Amino acid sequence: MYENSKLLFDRAQQSIPGGVNSPVRAFKSVGGTPLFIKKAQGAYLYDADGNQYIDYIASWGPMILGHAYEPVVNAIREKALDSTSYGAPTELEIEMAELIRTMAPNIDLVRMVSSGTEACMSALRLARGYTGRNKFIKFEGCYHGHADAFLVKAGSGLATFNIQTVPGITGGVSNDTLTCAYNDLPAVEKLVAENPDQIAAIIIEPVAGNMGCILPQPGFIEGLRRICDDHSIVLIFDEVMTGFRLSPGGAQQTLGVAADLVTYGKVIGGGMPVGAFGGKRAIMEKIAPLGNVYQAGTLSGNPIAMIAGYTMLKELKNKPAIYTELEQKTAYLHAGLEKVLRASGTPYTINRMGSMISVHFSDRPVTDFATAAGANNELFKKYFHAMLKRGVYLPPSAFESWFLNNALSYDDLDRTISATAESLKEVLSS
Ligand code: HOZ
């Protein structure tokens, strides 16, 4: 069934570390051979062996409208005829910035970069430059890309591979990264009290997607806002996953809490390598060339990436019904999974917000990294493979959110629900 993928994986390992260009793809934690993808269309992925899968990764978020969405593909095609990079400003970058500002709240100025990692690393540097402070708070299990400062108690691949200490990160960097549990407001208050006038920023995934999908409990994000206001700390929302997905204005709009800085990633590139950070004018004006917090990039605002992102965001802006449709589809999937999981008798928790959802084989609510890690993740591995065999491609780790795309039909969702019923029967009886 996976012969060609196996051959490609063997070959890949000769020239690419671990055979992959990003660790989570390696299937290392779930075992087996990573699928090598040949193409994707709408809600489906096709691997090198010609197998079709219903896709719940959506390139880790950005394919909100499905793969190879025609207007995006056509726009890229046309733009490429005018060259693929200039390293000089274009009108399209202004249009993109203006579009982002009309969709997302609290963005006075926005700077384009090439990835979510770059966006988060730049936002942190900016918060430090703005406040003149070095330390910052992040939450256990949140992942803000792979810049040094964020690789302390991080989610995603670090949680998947249980990497506690990352060689190459200096003690100084780690010491400036303060961590506490997601949803634990008293712990944040304690850290702030213990480090008076030293904390530049609190960075958070307002709905976490790198330890499965974890929801902020009522009052938590509002509490962070209050603490930041009281102590002149910059509140950074990492909206790499939630931006333009939960709603046109992302988590800021959905949760009704304003951030000082917001980071975006892949979502705003329509699948191209893009990121951005933006926010309050007084802070953003510290960035070079206005201020002396340096940040730069030859490919920042790249025309192909811009046209892909612009076209997709414009669709989302002009057709707000997409958000209702996505929400309804995800709620439908949620209800269906709930039914078959309950019938299976195995303990479970389903977390969902908008079109982000994850299943945890846990008998208690999953509200932070400890509870996500405490779930029966061995069972998740078996479930993952049983689903794959039935043509459903879930994230290959319990520490990742699932993302729905609007090309999914109700028939696809029904197939996913029945595949779950069959998979549970198979794995629970083995
Ligand atoms: N959770 C990661 C994205 N935020 C998975 C993708 C990757 O690392 O390749």
pLDDT digits 0-9 by tens, 206-222: 999 999 999 999 999 99
Distance CA 23, CA 45 (A): 20
Tokens of 193: 């009290």
- CA 202 distance to own-chain centroid: 18
Same domain, 99 and 234: yes
CA dihedral 286, 289, 292, 294 (to 10 degrees): 100
Atom of ligand 1 nearest to the CA of 265: 4
Domain stop point among 297, 318, 339: 318
Distance CA 240, CA 302 (A): 18
Kindly state if the Cβ of 102 falls inside 6 Å of ligand 1.
no
Cβ contacts of 407 within 8 Å, gap of 6 or more: 42, 43, 65, 66, 67, 69
**pLDDT value of position 205:** 98
Report CA(358)–ligand 1 centroid distance (Å): 15
Same domain, 314 and 327: no
CA angle 233, 237, 240 (to 5 degrees): 150
Same domain, 120 and 56: no
Residue with tokens 């029966």: 376
Residue with tokens 């990003």: 22
Same domain, 224 and 116: yes
Distance CA 304, CA 7 (A): 33
Report CA(125)–ligand 1 centroid distance (Å): 22
**What CATH number is given to the structural domain containing 412?**
3.90.1150.10
Question: Predicted confidence band at 152 (pLDDT cuts at 50, 70, 90)?
Answer: confident
Report CA(60)–ligand 1 centroid distance (Å): 6
Same domain, 87 and 62: no
Total Cβ atoms within 10 A of residue 414: 13
Kindly state if the Cβ of 358 falls inside 6 Å of ligand 1.
no
Distance CA 236, CA 284 (A): 12
Tokens of 202: 């609190």
Asked whether 135 and 198 are in contact (CB, 8 A), the reply is yes
Q: Which residues are catalytic?
A: 143, 238, 266
Backbone angles phi, psi at 20, to 5 degrees: -135, 160
Partnered with residue 238 across adjacent β-strands are 263
Distance CA 383, CA 388 (A): 9
Q: Which domain holds residue 44?
A: 3-68+320-429
Same domain, 257 and 309: yes
Same domain, 231 and 367: no
Question: Predicted confidence band at 394 (pLDDT cuts at 50, 70, 90)?
Answer: very high
Atom of ligand 1 nearest to the CA of 155: 1
Asked whether 67 and 40 are in contact (CB, 8 A), the reply is yes
How many domains in the chain? 2
Same domain, 55 and 159: no
**What CATH number is given to the structural domain containing 180?**
3.40.640.10
Atom of ligand 1 nearest to the CA of 116: 4
Q: Which of 27, 60, 266, 394 to mutate to test the pocket of ligand 1 (most atoms within 8 A of CB)?
A: 60
Same domain, 301 and 390: no
Stretch 313-330: mean pLDDT: 97
Stretch 23-29: mean pLDDT: 90
Helix (H, G, I), strand (E, B) or coil at 88: coil
**pLDDT value of position 163:** 82
Same domain, 64 and 77: no
Kindly state if the Cβ of 21 falls inside 6 Å of ligand 1.
no
58-115, pLDDT tens digit by residue? Answer: 999 999 999 999 999 999 999 999 999 999 999 999 999 999 999 999 999 999 999 9
Between the CA of residue 5 and those of 19, 155, 180, 256, 394, what are the distances in Å?
11, 27, 40, 45, 17
Report CA(289)–ligand 1 centroid distance (Å): 31
- CA 3 distance to own-chain centroid: 31
Backbone angles phi, psi at 110, to 5 degrees: -140, 135
327-384, pLDDT tens digit by residue? Answer: 999 999 999 999 999 999 999 999 999 999 999 999 999 999 999 999 999 999 999 9
Domain stop point among 262, 286, 318: 318
Report CA(230)–ligand 1 centroid distance (Å): 33
Cβ contacts of 116 within 8 Å, gap of 6 or more: 144, 145, 238, 240, 263, 264, 265, 266, 275
Atom of ligand 1 nearest to the CA of 22: 9
**pLDDT value of position 427:** 96
Same domain, 62 and 77: no
Q: Which of 16, 20, 24 to mutate to test the pocket of ligand 1 (most atoms within 8 A of CB)?
A: 24
| Whether the predicted model's global pTM rises above the 0.95 cut | yes
Same domain, 239 and 374: no
Total Cβ atoms within 10 A of residue 90: 15
Q: Is the pLDDT of residue 56 over 90?
A: yes
Distance CA 263, CA 110 (A): 9
Domain stop point among 318, 344, 359: 318
